[in-house]
Each structure stands twice: as C-alpha cells, then as structure tokens.
Amino acid sequence: MNIMLLGAPGSGKGTQAEKLVARLGYIQFSTGDLMRKQITDQTSLGLECAKYMNEGKLVPDKIVNAIVKDYLKSNSNKLIFDGFPRTLEQALELEKMLAEVDSKMDRVIYIDVAKEIILKRISGRIICPICKVSYHIETRKPLVEGICDNDGAALVRRPDDSPEKVAVRLKTYEADTKPLIDFYSNKPGFIHIEEAAELDGEIVYNMIEEALI
C-alpha cells in the first residue's frame, strides 16, 4: 500500500506522516526533507535545489522526478509521498515510474486546510534539523523551549518559512499543485478530509487510518 498526502504547505502532511511511520511502519518519502539534506551536505544537487527552495519556488520537475525515480529503485511499497507530486507533470511521471517498479498509488489523502490557518501555522513553525519533527511556538511547544523532545537538537526555522517566502509558496500551491486535486479526485482511493484544521490531529489521523482498510 502506498499513500500520498496532498495539501498546502503547513496543512499537516508531515505531522500525519510521522504518525503513520511510528504506528503503522510506513516510510515517509518527503522530497523536501530529502533535498534539504542534500543542501546540508552541500552536494551539487543540493546547491541546485537551494536556488529554488530558498525562494519558496518549486524545484524544476526534471530534477525532482529524477530524485524520485532514483528513490523508487530501492523503495516502492509502504511509502508515504509527502510533498510529491506537486505539479501535473510530476503526477503523470509518477504513474509511469510506479508502473516501472510494479507498484501503484493506493490512496490519495487530501488534507484541506484554510489559507488563514496555514499562515498562522507556518509563521510559528520551528523544526528539528535532525529528526525533522515540527513544533509550533504556541500550539505545539517542545518540553524545553527551543529543544527537540526526541533528540535534544536545537530547533530551527526553515529559511523558506518567512512571511514573504510563504506568500510565494502559497501562490505556487494554488497555481501548480491545487489542479492535482481535480486530477486525483476522479480516481479510486481519493479521500478528502474537509476543514482538517477544525479537527484534532488525532481525529485526522484516525480518518486516514480508516481509509487504509
């Protein structure tokens, strides 16, 4: 079973993915995390990705598709696609890439969150650079201020979480990623979680878990 989490930046895809990993043994495949690691390691791929990511822009399809293709060589089942695909071109390519490794997308879960809430969430977001868990300075505080509960690392703000960059990311989401909802909504296995921000994270998780049966 492979799952895709669709939703705007800050809609809670990463948080739900964490739960699916911890409780059901799924593997989180976040193209954003993977590319941030390349940036930290200062690889040439990382340097190329950073040009786009730090501006809040999408990394070109060709680069991201190649990263996914490479990843699917070693993992093609029990994956949670978090942040990929983000364009129609990527979605079409993903269908081909999955077929090549005898796999498919079984569930597409759209976590629908209003824009105003997204802005509040991202403006207070701090993340652990080691385990990638995200916190919020008001609504999801770590036990010790500025320190990750899991591994004691100092929490950081993502460079693209500044208000200007978030505005660019949300525009990009509306223009490039939202059309994917139409694309997937007619396919079997599509689940729409409406007004997800009004629901407790655990309730959203339970809805996802039920959809996996």
Calpha distance 123→137 (Å, rounded): 9
Q: Report residue 192 as tokens.
A: 């729409």
Instruction: For residue 123, give Cα distances in angstroms to 22, 93, 106, 165, 166.
Output: 26, 33, 33, 11, 8
In the DSSP assignment, the letter for residue 203 is: H
Question: How many Cβ atoms sit within 10 Å of the Cβ of residue 180?
Answer: 19
The verdict on whether residue 84 carries a ligand-binding annotation is: yes
> 34 vs 210, which CB is nearer to ligand ADP?
34
Question: Among 30-38, 40-48, 95-103, 199-207, which window interacts with ligand ADP (CB under 6 A)?
Answer: 30-38
> 18 vs 160, which CB is nearer to ligand ADP?
160
86 counts as catalytic: yes
Binding-site size, ligand ADP (CB under 6 A): 20
Residue nearest to ligand ADP (CB): 32
Calpha distance 11→139 (Å, rounded): 14
Calpha distance 119→131 (Å, rounded): 23
Sorted by sequence, the CB contacts under 8 Å of residue 194 that are 6+ apart come out as 112
How many residues does the structure list for the chain?
213
> 107 vs 169, which CB is nearer to ligand ADP?
169
Question: How many Cβ atoms sit within 10 Å of the Cβ of residue 177?
Answer: 22
CB of 193 to ligand ADP, least distance (A): 16
In the DSSP assignment, the letter for residue 57 is: P
> 85 vs 205, which CB is nearer to ligand ADP?
85
Residue of 86, 121, 132, 165 marked catalytic: 86
Cis peptide before 85 (omega within 30 of 0): yes
Residue of 107, 125, 132, 165 marked catalytic: 125
The verdict on whether residue 49 carries a ligand-binding annotation is: no
What string marks each residue from 6 to 25 as x (binds ligand ADP by CB under 6 A) or -? ---xx---------------
Sites for ligand ADP among residues 34-73 (CB under 6 A)? 35, 52-53, 56-59, 64
Which positions make up the binding site for Zn(2+)?
A: 128, 131, 148, 151
Question: Which residues contact ligand ADP by CB under 6 A?
Answer: 9-10, 30-32, 35, 52-53, 56-59, 64, 83-86, 90, 160, 169
Residues recognised as catalytic: 13, 86, 125, 158, 169
Which positions make up the binding site for AMP?
A: 31, 36, 57-59, 83-86, 90, 158, 169
